[in-house]
Structure 1
């Protein structure tokens, strides 16, 4: 904490990095939440004695700021109505489908927008109250795109960064948003705006150029000062996020995880080929396309159901949103039909698991899988692909990766890239992956591991914060 009572680094995200509950006597119990963002920022926060502003996770859950894991945690309270309209509504039924290539149609409701704006203001107020003079504030993701401008209006002394964890859509899609100008102005309150891919940064710059009067030059947008003259500059650039790859590598090397991987294969009947999909149950992940392709491969006789199986982990997601309820019904119906047609007593064609699992079990699943299927229709990054690579210290396994993931930019040299909309092409690639010889597997996996182990999540956070803190607070010329 700085001498003026504020914090030199403040992180603002939709959720706190811990799950909290109040006990009967009014005290707070908490446990750390899983997730790459927490892993990336925890050591930075602890070193800076930083504060983290985020929603506590439940409706009308009022908790005072508290200390946890070496961080000052500042819960933001949301009402049940705000959760419905700001989070389930505008964030996940308007922005999410719009930003993911309109795979599902976005809904535009003014009441949702009003709630989004109101909640963003609450997050901005909380961050402003925690930040020391001249502090760095790092705002995260699509739920909080208005916070940078709101924060700058209150605290022009701050250095503000924003990172968009999901894709930023092409202009032709983004301009459908009725509140497109307000979202752009909200983001332009930041000094540095980070994206997963260079293409996302380009989409943002193009939207600014077309939909605002802000001058741009390459990745730099010039903002006017109070007199309308050229003032501060905003930079938009790509900073691909990663995982704590060394930790995942170590986890997968433990005797317990390696024994569990062998147990999983034994429980499956020791098939020749185990394929694995791991996703949130989300329409952007291409689960239906993947299962359809696998079913057709079995129908064509290109893979023998007795010698192969597919494990599909689909963790629950946004179960109060209608599109997700429909997706679950469709996926489970498809799995049931394929198992009914091709399954045998004691052997299922597809093992469908609608659960979330701890990291140890995930590492064991990765080790047990000969082929990892990451076939998203659109994905900001997809960290599952990187987790699979980090777990494979045996240099075995094949990664089948959608070209529409951010991970494809980094992992193309070792992965087998697919267009998940091309079912026939995806079938051919899956069969090739299942039949790949060990020598080729090792050649490809070594390339993948070299990249994933070098470009870890710490490098990502250091890179973003390094650029942000190095930027002049005010420039007269580019």
Structure 2
């Protein structure tokens, strides 16, 4: 059983204008791509919110999975999701790039909603079932499940970074969060440093005994109730899907069309991000603008495509970020555009995976300048799509992907001069060096795809529980 904030389906209305019948289709997100095939093979169930507030739905089936909807009210969405999850935990866990807000009403809602998710699992899980809880919105669920259903095998995976204790210490409810996570038999993270941060926090804030990767969890009587293991499991992508799309003639032709529409510049640089303050988009734009000012790049020879998909637009910080980025793009284009050439092509949309792969094929340089990122799967998708081993990846050292893609051109996005120099190095990268770097990175991703990630986690979970029982 998988438990996540959202179910793996989106509601849609058919094109039949007369009937306007509603249905469900699989969501395009990375987590769904990762887990849905496994779930259909194992007759699994998925617990999550279906996306519409103030609506109760009965469990239903779709695509070989049993889906168990959890109801959220409009106020739940405001307080639990937009509030505590995305205005408290998200900035706190991303190194306080933006200031987190601490409100007791948000915390109360977070706790209540987590209990609702746990209750749904308790009601529907078979005896001895394996339950895999996903991400920062549901950090209290593991301990709630352990209290109510000690027969369950419980795993948790944190898709975003886990902060060092010095930052985590700011959270007024830090002890409750640590205890919530320690209800799991296995707590997974993107990077070894995240797992280490979690274990240091467990030791510091609840006095847990930590040995290697094991946290000895004590009950109220001081006796050890179970051992929780904390370990890194870097998530990856559906390699076969991206590789097959990159070889399709219509997508290859679409990539040529993209270049032609841009006037066939010598170099296309590409950024693909959610519109989020953790992604370092302003830093990227600043570096690109200065390169144009200095004449190291010219608008005739280089174009930056920036895809910024809409994100959390009801949250004030995200609205301000959008205004800042759109103002910067307008300033750059107003300063450097010619009748024939555009400096920055800014696209505030989400695109289907086919169009994204065409963009990856069209781009000579991929810019991933995140200030903090749990993984960043865009970097892995770009490398996977470059089946002829051409192109260059400029990658922030503050992404989880930097741990695996060591042949990328790594840089510190806070160092604008260093970022500019790395971009120029990527633009002028010799073909032989480009092939060597891409070949090495592609091998790493092909050997560690998303199926490898889920299989490795579940195998470790089974092993952890067996070891604990013995």
- TM-score band, normalised by shorter chain: over 0.9
Q: Distance in 2 between matches of 1:375 and 1:213?
A: 37
CA deviation after TM superposition for structure 1 residue 302, in Å = 0.5
CA deviation after TM superposition for structure 1 residue 226, in Å = 6.8
CA deviation after TM superposition for structure 1 residue 351, in Å = 0.3
Q: Which residue of 2 aligns with 1:390?
A: 384
Q: Is structure 2 residue 6 aligned with structure 1 residue 12?
A: no
Q: Distance in 2 between matches of 1:474 and 1:239?
A: 19
Indicate conservation of the 8 Å contact 1:280/1:316, yes or no. yes
Indicate conservation of the 8 Å contact 2:363/2:391, yes or no. yes
Measured against aligned partners, the alpha-carbon deviations of 1:213-248 in whole angstroms (never above 9, x if no partner) come to: 221111101122575322310000000000001210
Match of 2:234 among 234, 240, 253: 240
Match of 1:354 among 325, 348, 357: 348
1:222–1:310 distance in 2 versus 1, CA, 3 Å: same
Match of 2:142 among 145, 148, 165: 148
Q: Is structure 2 residue 94 aligned with structure 1 residue 100?
A: yes
CA deviation after TM superposition for structure 1 residue 470, in Å = 1.7
Q: Distance in 1 between matches of 2:69 and 2:223?
A: 39
1:277–1:26 distance in 2 versus 1, CA, 3 Å: closer
Q: Which residue of 2 aligns with 1:6?
A: none
Q: Which residue of 2 aligns with 1:4?
A: none
Q: Distance in 2 between matches of 1:27 and 1:223?
A: 51
> Which structure 2 residues correspond to residues 11-410 of structure 1 after superposition, within 5 A?
11-20=2-11, 29-225=23-219, 227-410=221-404
CA deviation after TM superposition for structure 1 residue 195, in Å = 0.1
Measured against aligned partners, the alpha-carbon deviations of 1:329-377 in whole angstroms (never above 9, x if no partner) come to: 0000000000000111131100000000000000000000000000000
Indicate conservation of the 8 Å contact 1:231/1:476, yes or no. no
Unaligned runs of at least 5 residues, structure 1: 1-9
Q: Distance in 1 between matches of 2:238 and 2:163?
A: 28
Mean Cα deviation higher: 468-477 or 445-454: 468-477
Indicate conservation of the 8 Å contact 1:399/1:415, yes or no. yes
CA deviation after TM superposition for structure 1 residue 144, in Å = 0.3
Q: Distance in 2 between matches of 1:141 and 1:183?
A: 12
Q: Distance in 2 between matches of 1:442 and 1:120?
A: 48
Measured against aligned partners, the alpha-carbon deviations of 1:409-462 in whole angstroms (never above 9, x if no partner) come to: 0001x2000100000000000011011121111111101111111110000000
Q: Which residue of 1 aligns with 2:441?
A: 448
Q: Distance in 2 between matches of 1:252 and 1:25?
A: 37
Indicate conservation of the 8 Å contact 1:390/1:452, yes or no. yes
**SS of the residue 2:71 aligns to:** strand
Q: Is structure 2 residue 407 aligned with structure 1 residue 417?
A: no
Q: Is structure 2 residue 426 aligned with structure 1 residue 433?
A: yes
Indicate conservation of the 8 Å contact 1:231/1:474, yes or no. no
Q: CA RMSD in A?
A: 1.5
1:261–1:176 distance in 2 versus 1, CA, 3 Å: same
Q: Distance in 2 between matches of 1:229 and 1:27?
A: 57
Indicate conservation of the 8 Å contact 2:156/2:188, yes or no. yes
CA deviation after TM superposition for structure 1 residue 28, in Å = 5.6
Q: Distance in 2 between matches of 1:219 and 1:475?
A: 13
Q: Distance in 1 between matches of 2:12 and 2:386?
A: 37
Q: Distance in 2 between matches of 1:472 and 1:85?
A: 35
Indicate conservation of the 8 Å contact 1:230/1:476, yes or no. no
